[in-house]
Chain A
Amino acid sequence: SAVISQKPSRDICQRGTSLTIQCQVDSQVTMMFWYRQQPGQSLTLIATANQGSEATYESGFVIDKFPISRPNLTFSTLTVSNMSPEDSSIYLCSVRGGGLASYNEQFFGPGTRLTVL
Chain B
Amino acid sequence: LAKTTQPISMDSYEGQEVNITCSHNNIATNDYITWYQQFPSQGPRFIIQGYKTKVTNEVASLFIPADRKSSTLSLPRVSLSDTAVYYCLVGDIGTGGFKTIFGAGTRLFVKA
Query: In the assembly, what is the distance between CA of A48 and CA of B46, in Å?
Result: 19
Chain A contact residues: helix, strand, loop or mixed: strand
Instruction: Indicate with 1 or 0, residue by residue over A35-73, a CB within 8 angstroms of chain B CB atoms.
Output: 100000011110010000000000000000000000000
Interface residues of B in 28-70 (CB under 8 A from A): 32, 34, 36, 41-46, 49
Task: Report the interface size for chain B: residues with CB under 8 A from the other chain.
Answer: 21
B79 shortest CB reach to chain A, Å: 22
- Are B43 and A104 touching (Cβ within 8 A)? no
B51 shortest CB reach to chain A, Å: 11
- Are B43 and A42 touching (Cβ within 8 A)? no
B97: chain A residues at CB < 8 Å are: 48
Interface residues of B in 78-101 (CB under 8 A from A): 85, 87, 93, 97, 99-101
- Are B104 and A42 touching (Cβ within 8 A)? yes
- Are B99 and A45 touching (Cβ within 8 A)? yes
Whether B13 is near chain A, meaning CB under 8 Å from some CB there, is: no
A33: chain B residues at CB < 8 Å are: 99-100
- Are B42 and A111 touching (Cβ within 8 A)? yes
- Are A103 and B93 touching (Cβ within 8 A)? yes
Task: Report the interface size for chain A: residues with CB under 8 A from the other chain.
Answer: 20
Query: In the assembly, what is the distance between CA of A107 and CA of B36, in Å?
Result: 10
A92: chain B residues at CB < 8 Å are: 43
Whether A94 is near chain B, meaning CB under 8 Å from some CB there, is: yes
B45: chain A residues at CB < 8 Å are: 108
A108 and B49 contact, Cβ closer than 8 Å, known pairs A33-B100, A48-B97: no
A76 shortest CB reach to chain B, Å: 15
Whether B76 is near chain A, meaning CB under 8 Å from some CB there, is: no
- Give the interface of A toward B (CB within 8 A): 4, 33, 35, 42-45, 48, 92, 94, 96, 103-111
